[in-house]
Chain A
């Protein structure tokens, strides 16, 4: 018997969201330190719905960067969604048109990580799972970034809560790996990003992702 997509999506979302709570608090600290009005800072949650890009934008504005520079950096950080969009495009082909437009808004790292590895290929199952997960993440992210504005600044820095964010994304990375070729690709991406860390606006991560996918292509060729 297959589990209901809605129940499975809610459970999967909760186990992925708890690790994102410190991320929401870090966002609250960033808004607080930027000097932006709280509501304006929070408005990035529904408008952008992308934690990493929101923190980048708010932090840079707070540091006095020009709005254009802050926007550019946030867009580069968000550019990985282009990769997610092309990866999930085949799975959206047998879906209704409205879902392609609505689903795109919910295409965040976690929803991508959960749905890209979904084994059930039934289009209805995929849509119900995707929507449930997307709406759950959205509701939780709106609530906790709101709470983070108040709770974030009173948490002592010595707790090192900010460390939870890279751990969360490393967890998403580990979820995406199911054979050794993908380990190689991930390691290449990490090493190249490290080497290119000095490129402006963190654009090295895009070059690194491209190169790593090319390595994946070579590995596929060798395997055959």
Chain B
């Protein structure tokens, strides 16, 4: 019961974080500099999120050669094709291959 309550609280606050600016800034006009600055949000936040996922709980980089090769290949493939699925298949392919030969 208390777990469900916690989930609901997190869900409600999470919704609030998504809605706050969309709802409250509906009438505000954004200066051009602010609009240009907002373009950097996606690369900044996604970059931070990817690195958070790669660093283990103790803060050490939990990534070996197969992972690194997979990540680099994924970035190159997605940048060229704009297709995340193609990037994933390439990354998992080289990851499994290298892991097989390096172990």
- Tell me whether B74 and A86 are in contact (CB under 8 A): no
In the complex, what distance in Å separates the CA atom of A178 from the CA atom of B48? 18
Query: Smallest Cβ distance from A61 to chain B, in angstroms?
Result: 7
Contact A15 B83 (CB under 8 A): yes
Main SS at interface, chain A: helix
Q: Which residues of A contact B11 (CB under 8 A)?
A: 44, 47-49
A188 to B18, CA, bound (A): 25
Name the residue on A nearest B59 (C-beta): A197
Residues A175 and B14 in contact in the complex (CB < 8 Å), given A194-B51, A216-B37: no
A210 CA to B47 CA in the complex, in Å? 12
Which residue of chain B has the shortest Cβ distance to A202 in the bound complex? B52
A197 B84 Cβ-Cβ under 8 A: no
| Contacting pair B22 A160 (CB below 8 A) | no
Per the CB 8 Å criterion, the residue count for chain B at the interface is 67
Contact present for B9 and A71 (CB under 8 Å): yes
Cβ-defined contact, B22 with A85, below 8 A: yes
- Selected A-B contacts with CB under 8 Å, 13 pairs: A19-B88, A40-B7, A75-B17, A84-B18, A93-B25, A113-B42, A113-B46, A166-B71, A170-B87, A173-B47, A177-B79, A208-B51, A209-B44
Which 7 A/B pairs are nearest by Cβ-Cβ distance? Answer: A216-B40, A189-B47, A171-B84, A104-B19, A176-B42, A212-B44, A197-B59
**CB within 8 Å of A: which residues of B?**
2-4, 6-11, 13-15, 17-23, 25-28, 30, 33, 35-55, 59-61, 67, 70-71, 74-75, 78-79, 82-85, 87-88, 91-92, 95-96, 99
